[in-house]
Structure 1
Amino acid sequence: MNDVALKPRVGAVRYLNTKPLVHGLDSASTPFTLSFDYPAHLADQLSLGLLDVALIPSIEYFLGDRYRIITDACIGCLGPVWSVKIFFRTPPQQVKTLALDEGSRTSAALAKILLAEKIGVRPDLQALPLGSDMRDCEANAILLIGDRAIHPPAIDAVEVWDLGETWVEWTGLPFVFAMWVARPAISTEVIAKSLMEARDGGMENLEMIAEREAAKYQLTTSECFHYFHDNLHFTLGPQEKEGLMRYYHYAVQLGLAPSGRTPIYDDCKIAR
């Protein structure tokens, strides 16, 4: 059996927002194999045992079986996130149908929570498959995430919600979209150390990462840098943990997650 086969398997989100978290992990010395996929797919692979550790949607953490949060590196926001939006073709209070981007289940649950709890709307739901043409979707509102939220098609929208901004204004708390999570019985000390070092290195090199990645996503270097620096937040501290539990509370109320779940944190550094 070769060395690659012996390494733990780690999965990361393929969107632009992950780049600062995986900085330098393409080195031959990285103590695990790293693959990339859509957030929802990563959650499925972790559940099936095809991955040992993955950056999964936060809603999937509460649906998992004894998952552990292994680092304080995460994808979150303290305000507008730019890459998670609902485009309303009718005023939000009049929405009857909502199309949900299949890329991330956390954002889908967040959209349902904000519509139900904030304005009392519970629309019928439609799936918006990855790679579909949003202009062919006839729903009253469309949730888009990731790169296609940053560059949406010409949708005739009367209002747009940035869900990070909407959540923070409504709750006064940060929002956590994804965390590094491990399956039970997986040894993670070395993996967690590498992931936190990668995040720290990414934060120190945002300008370089933006210069490298911007053109791939049809952004200017300045736009890409400000997305990393101003829209995203990469540390799971006490306020972020409180925001995560508030989100879980609303998810339970709407039947989107089972009750009685308590987050399990490995002995990882938590921001003070």
Structure 2
Amino acid sequence: MPYELQKCINFGCVNYINALPFSLPLLENSYLQLHLAPPAELLKKILHHEIDCALTSSIGTVAQKLQCLPGWGIAAHKHVQSVNLYTSSSFFSSSRPKVAITNESLSSVALFKILCHNLWQVPSPQIERLSPSEIINLSPDRYDGLLLIGDAALKHPQIPQFTTHDLAQCWDELTGLPFVFAVVLNRTSWKNCSSLIHLALDAALSHFENSPQEVVETAHKRINLSHKDLQAYYSLLRYRLGEEDYAGLKEFQKYYDRLLQKT
């Protein structure tokens, strides 16, 4: 039996409903030990060699220069609904806006900073990392902006006294390209397992594409959105990444590098 079939692969996957088309079928895969966690935590695990591969934050390939398996990820063009900036009336006029940002996010934080510098011309924000449950109860008296991702953003399309901005839409205004929020990162030593992982991801996604009902029902039970709203949400997400998506990822790399030079 080939080496890769003898050894269990520790595979990380984002624990939001946007990744259910991958994570639900992968739970049944004989060769993958699935680890579910927020993207920031998964990136730490792969950097510390606690897991072998992970569908997680695209900042891992942009900032950490980790390798990624081509063809797979989570991207959106123009709208995503699950990466939201909520701004108070003072955000765009503040000399240094104070923003509460979810501690689960990395790619979206980088995207937010890029948009501040290049789209809105807003000064570098003062950032405070908080849990999603803390963020949803904040007021504009203390914060100029809030940033939520994943299920928390989907469950809170609006927050009282704040205006919602879909960051995929803002990225489109800046570049005209999709934004790749997640890719499949892998450790160099596990390149020999890439074919097995490709097969597992393709089988998982093919199952979702042919029969999405299980994913939609699981998502409905988890965050209590209507089936219609969930179907609309999944229609926004791109899991099989193509040339346009990688053009967006390349543009993200360029803007990120420029941002580092300025800070």
Same fold (TM over 0.5): yes
Long gaps (5+) in structure 1: 258-272
Pair 1:30-2:30 in alignment: yes
Pair 1:134-2:136 in alignment: yes
Shift in CA distance, 133/169, structure 1 to aligned 2, threshold 3 Å: closer
Which of 236, 240, 246 does residue 235 from structure 1 map onto?
A: 240
Which of 222, 230, 234 does residue 224 from structure 1 map onto?
A: 230
Pair 1:172-2:176 in alignment: yes
* Cα distance between partner residues in 1 of 2:158 and 2:172: 27
1:80 is matched with 79
2:200 is matched with 194
Shift in CA distance, 92/200, structure 1 to aligned 2, threshold 3 Å: farther
Long gaps (5+) in structure 2: none
* Cα distance between partner residues in 2 of 1:136 and 1:253: 32
Q: Percent identity?
A: 25
1:255 is matched with 260
Are the equivalent residues in 1 in contact too, given 2:158–2:164 (CA < 8 A)?
no
1:185: Cα distance to partner?
1.5
* Cα distance between partner residues in 2 of 1:78 and 1:156: 27
1:109 is matched with 110
* Cα distance between partner residues in 2 of 1:197 and 1:104: 28
* Cα distance between partner residues in 2 of 1:160 and 1:154: 6
The structure in which a higher percent of residues are helix is: 2
1:133: Cα distance to partner?
4.6
2:46 is matched with 46
What is the letter of the counterpart of residue 135 of structure 1? N
* Cα distance between partner residues in 2 of 1:154 and 1:190: 41
Please give the TM-score of this superposition, normalised by the length of structure 2.
0.88
1:134: Cα distance to partner?
2.9
* Cα distance between partner residues in 2 of 1:18 and 1:24: 11
Are the equivalent residues in 1 in contact too, given 2:101–2:130 (CA < 8 A)?
yes
1:205: Cα distance to partner?
2.0
Deviations 1:33-76 (A, max 9, x none): 111000000000000000000012111222335x2211412111
Shift in CA distance, 8/38, structure 1 to aligned 2, threshold 3 Å: same
Specify the SS of the correspondent of 1:34: strand
Instruction: Give the paired residue count.
Output: 252
Q: CA RMSD in A?
A: 2.3
**Runs ≥4 in structure 1, deviation > 4 angstroms?**
none
Q: Larger deviation: 244-253 or 162-171?
A: 162-171
